[in-house]
Amino acid sequence: MSKEIPYKIYLEEQEMPKAWYNVRADMKTKPAPLLNPGTKEPMTAAELSGVFCDELVKQELDNDTAFFEIPEEIRSFYKMYRPSPLVRAYCLEKKLDTPAHIYYKFEGNNTSGSHKLNSAIAQAYYAKKQGLKGVTTETGAGQWGTALSMACSYFELDCKVFMVKVSYEQKPFRREVMRTYGASVTPSPSETTNVGRKILAEHPGTTGSLGCAISEAVEVAVGSEGYRYVLGSVLNQVLLHQSVIGLETKAALDKYGIKADMIIGCAGGGSNLGGLIAPFMGEKLRGEADYRIIAVEPASCPSFTRGKYAYDFCDTGMVCPLAKMYTLGSDFIPAPNHAGGLRYHGMSSTLSELYDEGLMEAVSVVQTDVFKAAEEFARVEGILPAPESSHAIKVAIDEALKCKETGEAKNIVFGLTGTGYFDLVAYQKFHDGQMDDYIPTDEELKKSWAKLPVV
Amino acid sequence: MSKEIPYKIYLEEQEMPKAWYNVRADMKTKPAPLLNPGTKEPMTAAELSGVFCDELVKQELDNDTAFFEIPEEIRSFYKMYRPSPLVRAYCLEKKLDTPAHIYYKFEGNNTSGSHKLNSAIAQAYYAKKQGLKGVTTETGAGQWGTALSMACSYFELDCKVFMVKVSYEQKPFRREVMRTYGASVTPSPSETTNVGRKILAEHPGTTGSLGCAISEAVEVAVGSEGYRYVLGSVLNQVLLHQSVIGLETKAALDKYGIKADMIIGCAGGGSNLGGLIAPFMGEKLRGEADYRIIAVEPASCPSFTRGKYAYDFCDTGMVCPLAKMYTLGSDFIPAPNHAGGLRYHGMSSTLSELYDEGLMEAVSVVQTDVFKAAEEFARVEGILPAPESSHAIKVAIDEALKCKETGEAKNIVFGLTGTGYFDLVAYQKFHDGQMDDYIPTDEELKKSWAKLPVV
């Protein structure tokens, strides 16, 4: 078991996962179902299939099947940019002078710059298989839109992206990458949809939110022949696809006989976190092993740590099904100074249920601390991290420093979801001392909770 | 020998090169020496040591030692982002419907975004070892400056970068990355140096060139206590460090019993090309194997294909030693519409000698064809390539299409030096149809050759 651990552990192609793992299969209490906003009854497959591809609806609703085979075409695509490395952060450990062993699963080595491609390619594949013309979606920081445009280009599907306005303006280059892959990109809220016009009328000058952009993308999908809507986070299907992250991580750790003490991931809607922790949580649910599992969220958008666990709208326009989740209220829009990503008002229902049962922890961190950690990491590990990922870095460093105090050589594993190459405007603000740490007041949260639906 | 070839071949850590390979050791005719611009005599180690670190001067002048051990500290740093993958371009082959097997060595998986880090870390290491305070340099597209700032941050050295003005303006985010790593960045030509002021007076409104920026960086290094100048290309020492690319490539091919038929690399000053081809050229020089070796350069800056093989100034300000090389004249400044990178007027002396002896070929390509190839590649291989790297892609695709005609299953290996995440302004121009194909006229070249030094 004392094999020397390389800086980067790469699985062989034949060691890559052949099936996704569905953590819901091992949950005693299943995540609460999506509800029809009109009838308040659980959404049926028939109802969902107007919005989502048929095969994805099946995955969304299936709480029992533990493993879904990854289709051969998707596995081929995965081989283009996977397995992603599990990196032993030797340089960071040295810099921190900690006895802890720090590992990170790095998902940024592809042009979308993040883990989002793992689900994008799956969703594009099922859309193509169903004979659709194209898909619509929203994107916040831009990673998901880029990932989806890459996936759609690969399968020759049309791709319409609604991009949260603040990101559209802060990240013009993201738009250009999507264009390279043939996607159309519209800043949201826009005048091109009913819901966009309504939101603009109610909140003139709004810089947008994921909730708004989702409403617009759904409206266009439902109103266009041969189109469906796809989503990059929150949904069960997305967490299923993202389990490839955790499965690879676990396989790499097992290969070297390493037992993780804690798994740390940033949490916006939950796509990375849910994927990363899936097999570890599975062991925990089955009573086979124990791990500390830590979600890290921005103090400016603190769904877990300050949210209500309740049914809520998934989007601002209230056109989507209701989901039970930790939520700040669908009307909640993070302050524009918040540096992109992790801006969603809610949280995956699956993760919400696990958190509610005490199977995982959550902490929130302020953004200047996040950027400090990001810069420290970049300087010793040679990767400029995405602000989203840097939330996990911050807490991993904190935990490593605790180990320094106690002298414990814990194994800390965190998810480095992506690179910050398109986040330099935020880095510049940080360097120029123009970044502040907005934290919503209790009054603001109360105000947005006032619109929670009665279920 | 018929092992199944994975999409990405990663060497194990213990298979990584432990020594750099110096191709000059196997050359019968050695590259012509650098000359003192005053005396026209070969530069001595003593003369060079005012500009470069002592250990690097040794490497620069040593035409006989075949292998230089890579110091342990550098090998540790290499492990942070190396080995880089040798990728089998299955998806591109399928798209082109070619019997050819296409491989690319991808050097873009690090925050500098390119292969430049391989030499940056070596040069920073020797500067630190010599007890220097810092280094100065120039950067064109920004990759070298970013790489050097990362390397200097790692060894806690000060780093002053002169960035070609056109890139400084087109790539503000590169500057921010360098800042993250603590470097200072000045657009060149600048008013901060004598040579900068002189160039600005002679060419008001110039968008700069590598030649100008070199002059400024050298002036500052020579005039500052505890500083030396470092260069990201052209020099023998740089090609030596970059041999790690070729050594890894060859080891990966050998591991799978693949014999390359041709090696293709983009050529600006020669750092990537020289590194990639080194061990293959070595076999060729020793008569052990034969390969087609193809340099690809922009038609707008065609040193090999339209240059003169002569002694020339390395910089516009004429403060550096003279080098014998294929040159367009040190006064040559590519048109500003040319999309960054590969802008240098000259070419590595080592590569120039090899080319002159007919040991390698060269082709030039126009930039709209390069961007077409880049986009085609991005869409199937999932990597948005740097414009520089895309020169090699263009010719690799051309060669693969020739194989389609002849039915030959040739093994095509090319260097994918980096990613285009900071080149989106150029991609945008391409998408908007605002990119044209400047080719210098014979008259322009004649004019800049008029200033060739008499040796």
Distance CA B277, CA B239 (A): 10
Kindly report the nearest CA distance between residue A177 and chain B, in angstroms: 7
Residue spans of alpha helices (H) in B193-235: 194-202, 210-223
The pair of three-digit structure tokens given for residue B7, joined into one six-digit string: 């999409």
CA angle, corner B243, sides to B239 and B244, nearest 5?
135
Contacts of B153 in chain A (CB under 8 A): 379
Over the stretch A185-203, which tens digit does the pLDDT of each residue have?
999 999 999 999 999 999 9
Over the stretch A372-407, which tens digit does the pLDDT of each residue have?
999 999 999 999 999 999 999 999 999 999 999 999
Chain B residues with CB within 8 Å of chain A CB: 6-8, 10, 12-13, 76-77, 79-81, 90-91, 109-111, 113, 117, 150, 153-154, 172-173, 176-177, 179-182, 375, 378-384, 419, 421-422, 424, 427-428, 431
Q: Is B133 in a helix, a strand, or coil?
A: coil
Distance CA B193, CA B197 (A): 6
ipTM of model: 0.92
Q: Which residues pair with B160 in a beta bridge?
A: B136, B184
With CA atoms as reference, the chain A residue closest to B80 would be A7
Over the stretch A307-343, which tens digit does the pLDDT of each residue have?
999 999 998 888 889 999 999 998 887 777 666 578 8
- Chain A / chain B CB contacts < 8 angstroms: 110
The pair of three-digit structure tokens given for residue B328, joined into one six-digit string: 């367009």
Over the stretch A14-23, which tens digit does the pLDDT of each residue have?
999 999 999 9
For the segment A345-363, the average pLDDT, to the nearest whole number, is 97
The answer, yes or no, to whether residue A222 has pLDDT greater than 70, is yes
Kindly report the nearest CA distance between residue B294 and chain A, in angstroms: 26
Q: Which helix (H) or strand (E) holds B274?
A: helix B271-285
Q: List every span in chain B annotated with CATH 3.40.50.1100.
A: 11-72+116-229, 78-112+236-449
Q: Which helix (H) or strand (E) holds B147?
A: helix B143-155
Residues 6 or more apart in contact with residue A223 via CB below 8 angstroms: none
Over the stretch B33-83, which tens digit does the pLDDT of each residue have?
999 999 999 999 999 999 999 999 999 999 999 999 999 999 999 999 999
Q: Which residues pair with B294 in a beta bridge?
A: B264, B361
Between helices B54-61 and B236-255, what is the axis angle to 10°? 70
HEC readout, chain A: CCCCCCCEECCCHHHCCCEEECHHHHCCCCCCCCECCCCCCECCHHHHCCCCCHHHHHHHHCCCCCEEECCHHHHHHHHHHCCCCEEECHHHHHHHCCCCEEEEEECCCCCCCECCHHHHHHHHHHHHHCCCCEEEEEECCCHHHHHHHHHHHHHCCEEEEEEEHHHHHHCHHHHHHHHHCCCEEEEECCCCCHHHHHHHHHCCCCCCCHHHHHHHHHHHHHHCCCEEECCCCCCHHHHHHHHHHHHHHHHHHHHCCCCCCEEEEECCCCHHHHHHHHHHHHHHHCCCCCCEEEEEEECCCCHHHHCEEEEEECCCCCCCCEEEEEECCCCCCCCCCCCCCCCCCCCCHHHHHHHHCCCCEEEEECHHHHHHHHHHHHHHHCCCECHHHHHHHHHHHHHHHHHHHHCCCCEEEEEECEECCCCHHHHHHHHCCCCCCCCCCHHHHHHHHCCCCCC
pLDDT of residue B211: 81
On average, the pLDDT of chain A sits at 94
Among B15, B159, B180, the strongest candidate for a mutation testing the A interface, having the largest count of A CBs within 10 A, is B180
Q: Is B161 in a helix, a strand, or coil?
A: strand
Q: Which helix (H) or strand (E) holds B94?
A: helix B90-96
Distance CA A324, CA A312 (A): 6
Identify the band that residue B140 occupies on the pLDDT scale cut at 50, 70 and 90: confident
For the segment A113-118, the average pLDDT, to the nearest whole number, is 96
Over the stretch A403-440, which tens digit does the pLDDT of each residue have?
999 999 999 999 999 999 988 888 989 989 999 898 99
For the segment A242-251, the average pLDDT, to the nearest whole number, is 98
Contacts of A375 in chain B (CB under 8 A): 180
Contact A378 B172 (CB under 8 A): no
C-beta separation of B281 from B382 below 8 A: no
The answer, yes or no, to whether residue B1 has pLDDT greater than 50, is no
Q: A114: how many CB neighbours lie within 10 A of its CB? A: 27
The answer, yes or no, to whether residue A2 has pLDDT greater than 70, is no
Q: Is B40 in a helix, a strand, or coil?
A: coil
The answer, yes or no, to whether residue B273 has pLDDT greater than 80, is yes
The answer, yes or no, to whether residue B168 has pLDDT greater than 80, is yes
Distance CA B385, CA B140 (A): 17
The answer, yes or no, to whether residue B173 has pLDDT greater than 90, is no
Distance CA B70, CA B74 (A): 7
C-beta separation of B369 from B84 below 8 A: no
Contact A109 B109 (CB under 8 A): yes
| Residue A384: HSE in the Cβ half-sphere, 13 Å Cα cutoff | 25
Contact B111 A379 (CB under 8 A): no
Chain A residues with CB within 8 Å of chain B CB: 6-8, 10, 12-13, 76-77, 79-81, 90-91, 109-111, 113, 117, 150, 153-154, 172-173, 176-177, 179-182, 375, 378-384, 419, 421-422, 424, 427-428, 431
pLDDT of residue A320: 87
Classify domain A78-112+236-449 at the CATH topology level.
Rossmann fold (3.40.50)
The pair of three-digit structure tokens given for residue B18, joined into one six-digit string: 């432990």
Residue B335 has phi, psi (to 5 degrees) of -55, 145
Q: Is B335 in a helix, a strand, or coil?
A: coil
The answer, yes or no, to whether residue A295 has pLDDT greater than 90, is yes
User: Percent of chain B beyond pLDDT 70?
Assistant: 98
Residue B21 has phi, psi (to 5 degrees) of -105, 130
Identify the band that residue A219 occupies on the pLDDT scale cut at 50, 70 and 90: very high
Residues 6 or more apart in contact with residue B202 via CB below 8 angstroms: none
Between helices B117-129 and B236-255, what is the axis angle to 10°? 130
Distance CA A117, CA A124 (A): 10
Residues 6 or more apart in contact with residue A45 via CB below 8 angstroms: A54, A57, A58, A61
Using CB atoms, pick whichever of B13, B109, B381 lies closest to residue A80.
Answer: B381
The answer, yes or no, to whether residue B347 has pLDDT greater than 90, is yes
Residue A49's closest CA among A234, A221, A239? A221
Q: Is B260 in a helix, a strand, or coil?
A: coil
The answer, yes or no, to whether residue A453 has pLDDT greater than 70, is yes
The pair of three-digit structure tokens given for residue A30, joined into one six-digit string: 């299943």
**B200 DSSP assignment:** H
Identify the band that residue A344 occupies on the pLDDT scale cut at 50, 70 and 90: confident
pLDDT of residue A149: 97
The answer, yes or no, to whether residue A1 has pLDDT greater than 70, is no
The answer, yes or no, to whether residue B147 has pLDDT greater than 50, is yes
Classify domain A11-72+116-229 at the CATH topology level.
Rossmann fold (3.40.50)
Contacts of A150 in chain B (CB under 8 A): 379, 382
For the segment A255-274, the average pLDDT, to the nearest whole number, is 96
The answer, yes or no, to whether residue B448 has pLDDT greater than 80, is yes
Q: Which residues pair with A38 in a beta bridge?
A: none
Q: Which residues pair with A161 in a beta bridge?
A: A137, A185
Using CB atoms, pick whichever of A91, A111, A172 lies closest to residue B382.
Answer: A111
Over the stretch A131-161, which tens digit does the pLDDT of each residue have?
999 999 999 878 999 999 999 999 999 999 9
| Residue B71: HSE in the Cβ half-sphere, 13 Å Cα cutoff | 14
Burial string for B250-262 (b: 16+ CB within 10 Å, else e) reads bbbbeebebebbb
Contacts of B179 in chain A (CB under 8 A): 427-428, 431
Q: Which residues pair with A159 in a beta bridge?
A: A135
CA angle, corner A132, sides to A126 and A137, nearest 5?
75
For the segment A51-64, the average pLDDT, to the nearest whole number, is 97
The answer, yes or no, to whether residue B101 has pLDDT greater than 90, is yes
Contacts of A424 in chain B (CB under 8 A): 172-173, 176-177
C-beta separation of B256 from B9 below 8 A: yes
Distance CA B67, CA B81 (A): 22
CA angle, corner A89, sides to A355 and B231, nearest 5?
135
* pTM across the whole model: 0.94
Distance CA B323, CA B12 (A): 39
